[in-house]
Amino acid sequence: MKYATEFAVRFGDIDQAGVVYYPRFFHYFHQAFESWFEDALGVSYSELVVAQDLGFPTVRLETEFKAPLRYGDRIRIELELVDIGKKSLTVRYTAIRLSDGVISARADIKTVAVRNDGFTSVTIPEQWRQRFERFRAGPDEDNR
Rounded to 5 degrees, φ, ψ at 123 are -65, 140
Which of 78, 71, 79 shows the shortest CA–CA distance to 99?
A: 71
Separation of first and last alpha carbons in the chain: 15
Q: How many CB atoms lie within 10 A of CB 77?
A: 25
Supply the pLDDT for residue 144: 46
Q: Which CATH superfamily is domain 3-133 in?
A: Hotdog Thioesterase (3.10.129.10)
pTM for the model:
0.92
Supply the pLDDT for residue 141: 53
Supply the pLDDT for residue 137: 82
What is the separation of C-alpha 136 from the centre of its chain, rounded to a whole number of angstroms?
A: 13
- What residue spans define the domains of the chain? 3-133
pLDDT means over runs of 10, the chain (144 residues): 96 96 97 96 94 96 98 97 97 98 98 95 94 82 48
Supply the pLDDT for residue 140: 57
State the DSSP code for 23: H
Rounded to 5 degrees, φ, ψ at 89 are -125, 140
State the DSSP code for 12: G
